[in-house]
């Protein structure tokens, strides 16, 4: 009888003593990182101060705008919001630290300044990895850059900002350059094509070149084609009565007085071609 009582006590004790393997698994399990929420509205600027200068900042929805100095990196950015669904804000510092937040519209704000500690970073875009993974990291950075172009081009298309009346037409086809914007190391050309004719317009190409006027007795013109880094929403056809807007992204450049940019619109299997001259004043003084 005593033997059975002893066995029962031992089973009881082992049943309630924590097992080392189970405890180790629990302590090493990953926990879900909950994103903090930042509130903003359209009447006040909400300032976000980061531990390192901001290199890149992107919002997931157009009703949120995060502005920061793209020419000279600074430690703070300003957030504004219009009524709409919640979104997210992704910020990358100069040292590669990544910060991510949920952003929401709120009519009345109780907090206008956020001082972000380095501990809030969710990771770094430059992890220490082997050579084989470094190649993948480079590809990811390219994808991140493309994503940034997409978001910034969409932002520009939603703005009503104009750099001037730069427009030319031919047989019902109207080519316009609405805006030229400098950001980081690129120039963004916001372009519009209107088809006011009775026929669809099939786009063959739209090229931007730099034209140099050679001085001397034999004056001549030389053109150098500029390859866009990225094209956003470029159409292949503009149907009758349609207006399309798109963006060309090119490496930053400037022009001297004897040079100008040429925008050349060419119709596929047609003759409704347009050649537009852009003065160096527009190129050297972008928005």
Q: What are phi and psi of 286, to 5 degrees?
A: -75, 170
CB atoms within 10 A of CB 101: 21
Give pLDDT, residue 82: 93
Give the model confidence (pLDDT) of 130-141 as tens digits: 454 555 555 555
| Burial of 167 per CB tally in 10 Å (0-12, 13-18, 19+) | middle
Instruction: List Cβ neighbours of 53 (8 Å cut-off, separation of 6 or more).
Output: 73, 74, 75, 93, 94
**Bigger pLDDT: 75 vs 140:** 75
What confidence tier does 4 reach under pLDDT thresholds 50, 70, 90?
Answer: very low
Burial pattern 108-117, b for ≥16 Cβ within 10 A else e, equals eeeeeebebe
Instruction: List Cβ neighbours of 9 (8 Å cut-off, separation of 6 or more).
Output: none
Beta strands in 70-118 (DSSP E): 76-81, 87-93, 97-105, 113-115
For all residues of the chain together, what is the average pLDDT?
81
Please give the CATH topology (third level) of the domain spanning 166-284: Immunoglobulin-like (2.60.40)
What confidence tier does 241 reach under pLDDT thresholds 50, 70, 90?
Answer: very high
Every domain of the chain and the residues it spans:
37-126, 166-284
Residue tagged 């932002």 (tokens): 155
CB 54 within 8 A of CB 119: no
Domains 37-126 and 166-284 share a fold: yes
Give pLDDT, residue 139: 55
In this structure, is the dihedral angle defined by the CA atoms of residues 122, 128, 130 and 135, taken in order, positive or negative? positive
Mean pLDDT computed over 197-219: 82
Give the model confidence (pLDDT) of 107-153 as tens digits: 999 999 999 988 888 888 765 454 545 555 555 555 678 888 888 89
Residue 153, token pair as written in the block: 């081009």
How are beta strands 46-49 and 113-115 bridged, if at all? parallel
Please give the CATH topology (third level) of the domain spanning 37-126: Immunoglobulin-like (2.60.40)
């Amino acid at each position: 009888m005593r033997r059975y009582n002893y066995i029962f006590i031992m089973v009881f004790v082992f049943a309630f003593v924590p097992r080392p393997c189970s405890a180790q698994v629990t302590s090493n399990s990953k926990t879900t990182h909950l994103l903090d929420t930042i509130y903003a509205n359209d009447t006040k600027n909400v300032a976000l101060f980061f531990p390192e200068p901001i290199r890149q900042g992107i919002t997931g929805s157009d009703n949120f705008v995060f502005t920061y100095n793209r020419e000279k990196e600074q430690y703070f950015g300003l957030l504004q919001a219009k009524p709409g669904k919640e979104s997210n804000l992704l910020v990358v510092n100069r040292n590669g630290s990544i910060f991510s937040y949920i952003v929401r519209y709120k009519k009345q704000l109780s907090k206008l300044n956020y001082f972000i500690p380095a501990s809030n970073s969710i990771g770094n875009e430059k992890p220490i990895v082997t050579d084989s993974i470094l190649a993948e990291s480079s590809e990811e950075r390219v994808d991140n850059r493309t994503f940034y172009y997409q978001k910034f081009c969409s932002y520009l298309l939603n703005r009503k900002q104009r750099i001037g009346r730069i427009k030319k037409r031919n047989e019902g086809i109207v080519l316009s350059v609405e805006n030229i914007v400098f950001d980081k190391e690129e120039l963004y050309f916001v372009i519009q094509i209107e088809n006011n004719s009775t026929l669809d317009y099939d786009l063959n190409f739209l090229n931007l070149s730099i034209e140099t006027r050679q001085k001397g007795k034999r004056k001549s013109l030389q053109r150098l084609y500029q390859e866009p880094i990225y094209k956003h929403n470029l159409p292949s056809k503009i149907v009758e009565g349609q207006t399309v807007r798109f963006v060309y992204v090119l490496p930053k450049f400037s022009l001297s007085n004897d040079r100008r940019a040429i925008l050349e619109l060419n119709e596929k299997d047609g003759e409704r071609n347009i050649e537009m001259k852009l003065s160096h004043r527009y190129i050297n003084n972008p928005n």
